[in-house]
Chain A
Amino acid sequence: MAHQAHAYHMVDPSPWPLTGAVAALLMTSGLAIWMHFNSVTLMSLGLVLLLLTMYQWWRDIVREGTFQGHHTPPVQKGLRYGMILFITSEVFFFLGFFWAFYHSSLAPTPELGGCWPPAGITTLDPFEVPLLNTAVLLASGVTVTWAHHSIMEGHRKQAIQSLTLTILLGFYFTILQALEYYEAPFTIADGVYGSTFFVATGFHGLHVIIGSTFLAVCLLRQVQYHFTSEHHFGFEAAAWYWHFVDVVWLFLYISIYWWGS
């Protein structure tokens, strides 16, 4: 019986990269169709295909790693590099929106009244819900670290509790932010202030939802005994992502909510 003479993972052929690419195509062209012909069918189809792709691709990775043992130390190292590079790319994504914010706010044009916040904009008080949101995310950073240590020390019940708490804090942030959006005295259409505020905080909120979902998947896996005290990279990746989301919020809070008010 032939077997590999190396520690790397030669992945079996998989259809998910193709379905993912098709999903990307359908979503982008679907977006154009929506903009011009008022039909969401194509984009929705793309979205469904994307969700199916993500579910099945990541399910396969869990099977390969947790059940079939393909995630040897060198393979795990590659996965770590991958997650770090991905998060780095997300940092640059947000950098763009911070650039846009500072471009407009450091030299406010006459159309805004030459001042920031622009004339007529009532900003949110940074010491009300935004400050609570900051506390919530910081606390969730603590609980996710608690979860990590629990996993490493083999404390199953504590790991489940702290991970659950982290996810609940994530939901709490999302709900608070949704309420803020609803009650805000300005909209995305209110000049460059509205644009920079809602695009930056909006993408951040999306990342909170993504991060919470990632953590929730980890919770399900923890409950099903996937993680060992030595090997739990899926959880570590989720925790890194969660810390990244927290740090982005801190920058948003300092720049847009506090300095920009």
Chain B
Amino acid sequence: MSDKFEEKIKNYRTAPFDARFPNTNQTRNCYQNYLDFHRCNKALSAKNQDPAPCEWYHRVYKSLCPISWVQKWDDQLESGSFAGRI
């Protein structure tokens, strides 16, 4: 399972089609992956496991999200005012 994942990450070019977000408006796609990355990190760190699998979500949101959104949300996370549930 790990090798396939490493391969996927190595061959990553951009975010693949996600059937959960089929329409033109991809806001939710970006937001969901941002959330999932942080939730994944939190969950795996809590169990003292390697957070490497979370890298997928990281790649996806980096591909999809406007940089200003990511900066804004990162700032909010730091200041504790992020509205989403991590």
Contacts and interface: CB of A to CB of B under 8 A. Distances in A.
Interface in A91-119: 109-115, 118-119
B85 A119 contact: yes
Interface string B20-64: 000000011001000100000000000000000000000000000
A interface, over-half SS = loop
Contacts of A109: 27
B56 to A, nearest CB: 20
Contacts of B27: 109-110
Contacts of B16: none
A115 to B, nearest CB: 7
A110 B31 contact: yes
A13 to B, nearest CB: 58
B67 to A, nearest CB: 15
A112 B27 CA distance: 13
Q: Which of A109, A110, A119 has the most CB of B within 10 A?
A: A110
Nearest to A107: B28
Contacts of B35: 114
B83 interface: yes
5 tightest A-B CB contacts, nearest first: A113-B83, A119-B83, A110-B31, A113-B84, A114-B84
Interface of B: 27-28, 31, 35, 69, 73, 83-85
Interface of A: 109-115, 118-120
23 contacts: A109-B27, A110-B27, A110-B31, A110-B69, A110-B73, A110-B83, A110-B84, A111-B83, A112-B83, A113-B83, A113-B84, A113-B85, A114-B28, A114-B31, A114-B35, A114-B83, A114-B84, A115-B85, A118-B83, A119-B83, A119-B84, A119-B85, A120-B83
